[in-house]
Amino acid sequence: MLPVRRRTVLKLVSGSAMYAALPLAHAAGPATKGAVRAVADDSLLSIEFDAALRTRLSSRGEAITGFDASEALLLADGGVVDDFAFEDARIARVADPRHGPGRRHTLRGRSPGGIEKTVELTFHERHPGMAVLAVQYRNDGDAPLEVAGWRNAAHVLAERGDGFWSFSGATHTDRRDWVQPMGADFAQRNTLAMDSSDYGGGTPVADVWRRDVGLAVGHLETRPRLLDLPVARTPGGAAIAVESRRATTLAPGATLRSDRTFVCVHTGDYYAALLHYARWMADAGIAAPEVPASAFAPIWCAWGYERDFTTEQVLGTLPKVKELGFEWVVLDDGWQTNEGDWQIDTRKFPRGEDDMRAFVQAIRAQGLRPRLWLAPLAADPGSEVLYRHTDMLLLDEDGASQNVTWWNAFTQCPGYQPTVDFYVALVTKIIGDWGFEGLKLDGQHLNAVAPCYNPTHNHADPMESCEAVATFWQAIYDAAHAANPDAIVELCPCGTAFAFHNLPATDQYPSSDPLSSWQVRHKGKTIKALIGRRGSYAGDHVELADGGADFASSVGIGAVISTKFTWPADIPEPKLDMPPGGLVLGPEKEALWRKWIDLYREHMLPKGDYLGTLYDIGFDKPETHVIGKDGALYYAFYADRWDGPLQLRGLGRGRWRVRDLFGGADLGIVDGRQATVAAAFETFLLLQAVPEGRDA
């Protein structure tokens, strides 16, 4: 790590009376790349500008990057305008009503081709280590400039010898891990546009970190944008940036302004950066809603019986569901005639809506809560709605539809009011008339949609469809809660990263078809940073985790537990992949399920505080998660095998009694200031630490 050069500028420190748009002093003499001309900083992050308006980042007084062409104009011919002769810099106090007081640095430079660049860089006192960035380019030349987009916050975090980890909030069709180690050839484009016809969107944050420091970048606008967050391993470190690829023509005298983006430094893993992002967006009005208590109740889903379920199978399983301590009963895919019309299948419910109401009442008669599966915005070929309301379809520039692959359906446009009205009426019927107490909204296409060019919709901008996804879900959420204030709206965009802008309209996020227990856990860490204690994260069907029985991954990170077991037998000819031993709840499995459910209900860790900054999910071994609840700390350790000391971080002063929750063994007393226990385990170990003298 290189030391920061002695500053050659006059810094106006926080709290000085010398604000009010005073110019920053800068080095006199000829422009020389690498010579520091201005510095913007707070106590954690320093950004130095050289004579070409390139920037170098420092964390806590030490350089972590070189001088990078961090902000640039991207040209249609593949060129880049990234060399701007420094002209001046000014600083002013800001008092943002939402984000609080801070300092705004404004710097100007000019390219050899006559493009004036203005950089606005703001540090808010409530967000130490985070700089908010917007850049403006004005064409002062005589000819129009064909622009492909812009790039902000492009940096290379320098190599230190112990490697890097990365987080990506973008969607990938292959449903890859959100958190990954960065090998020598690691590179991801991380697009927030459509990765394929029905996969897109996400949380607009990317992060790279090494053992001692991390660097995050992201997007801060209150509406989603089709941005890229590229991350790649380089010979000298880990590269990261925010890029917009929206083409335009910059006429003489015209101005192009980037969206608001941010750059953030942190210690530990990406969790701290997501906290910054979530708090900023909450101040801007996008935050998780306060969810009903039932959002933390254990879930049984009838999907184990697949689409060809019978009502007798589902109702026959309910006594066992209740006996084990589950509270939610989810009627999954297969109750409807098709995706699109959402009419009741009379082969299963012969009297239609009357039988559906009776089915719901049968669930409630057991003291259980009914929830219904739904895949909005999908219309099957052959559905009546597709025939009668082709106007609802989302169309591309060539007039082609956007496909939803799993159901072989077509996407409807969420930015078209008749589409919204159709689904609001449907949800009102499901909750207010049929009597369901919750919705499971399912499908990878729910995260984002492509720009819409359907001429019937009269969009002022094709991007209106992309931006309308969040408002569509808000309309659904509002309709459900108007019909039943305690309704639960679960949003499950199968296997994709979660679109953050949908957060205010969601009571519960599942891990969404996890491919492994590792995904259950790191998705949990991610979502908990974004939703805090207000929202609910569910581990999805435990049968999707490693071995088909890994409740430990859900319980340990404070996720709501869920299963799709069948009883008293499996279906004879399943069409989907089955876990080892099938889905039937035999005696051995039932004993294990019962133990985990009792443990979950006794401690209710989803209602605790997830303490995500105590351990680094990439570099700390074994993998560790901590939850604080009711004066106790709960530690969840994960490894194939472990035999050695375990450090219990976060304990306060005094002596603490440590207990193995699952095994039931007392591990003795530890000193909170230097707390370690010796332990050997396979797969997982869950510990509870309580102050000595207090009952567990």
pLDDT in tens, 345-379: 999 999 999 999 999 999 999 999 999 999 999 99
Q: Which CATH superfamily is domain 623-691 in?
A: Golgi alpha-mannosidase II (2.60.40.1180)
Dist CA 51 CA 355 (whole Å):
75
Q: How confident is the model at residue 14 (pLDDT cuts 50, 70, 90)?
A: very low
Mean model confidence pLDDT for the chain: 93
CA atoms within 13 A on the CB side of 195: 25
The architecture (CATH level 2) of 2-283 comes to Distorted Sandwich (2.70)
pLDDT at residue 551 in the model: 98
The percentage of the chain sitting over the pLDDT mark of 90, rounded to a whole number, equals 92
Identify the weakest region by mean pLDDT among 154-163, 310-319, 399-408.
399-408
Q: How confident is the model at residue 505 (pLDDT cuts 50, 70, 90)?
A: very high
Stated as kind and residue range, the H or E segment containing 507 is none
Say yes or no to pLDDT of 13 above 90.
no
377 closest CA partner among 435, 309, 426, 306 = 426
**Complete DSSP assignment for 120-187:** EEEEETTSTTEEEEEEEEEE-SSS-EEEEEEEEEEEEEEP-SS--EEEEEE--TT---SEEE--TT-E
Dist CA 211 CA 197 (whole Å):
37
| Amino acid identity, position 335 | W
The per-residue b/e assignment along 629-667, b for 16 or more CB within 10 angstroms, e otherwise, is: beebbbbbbbeeebeeebebebbeeeebbbbbbbeeeeb
Say yes or no to pLDDT of 404 above 60.
yes
Report the relative pairing of strands 536-541 and 560-563 from DSSP bridges. parallel
pLDDT at residue 695 in the model: 67
Dist CA 384 CA 341 (whole Å):
6
For 599, counting Cβ atoms within 10 Å of its Cβ (0-12 exposed, 13-18 middle, 19+ buried), the class is: middle
Give span(s): CATH 2.70.98.60, the chain: 2-283
Say yes or no to pLDDT of 685 above 70.
yes
For the chain, report the end-to-end CA distance as a whole number of angstroms: 46
List, in sequence order, every residue forming a beta bridge with 439; answer none if it has no partner. Answer: 372, 489
pLDDT at residue 435 in the model: 98
Q: How confident is the model at residue 534 (pLDDT cuts 50, 70, 90)?
A: confident
The percentage of the chain sitting over the pLDDT mark of 70, rounded to a whole number, equals 95
Mean of the pLDDT values across residues 243-265?
97
Mean of the pLDDT values across residues 409-426?
98
The dihedral over CA atoms of 47, 52, 53, 58, expressed in degrees to the nearest 10, equals -10
Dist CA 515 CA 493 (whole Å):
14
Mean of the pLDDT values across residues 265-283?
97
Say yes or no to pLDDT of 4 above 50.
no
pLDDT at residue 696 in the model: 58
* Residue appearing with tokens 């030349």: 141
Say yes or no to pLDDT of 148 above 50.
yes
What global pTM score does this model have?
0.94
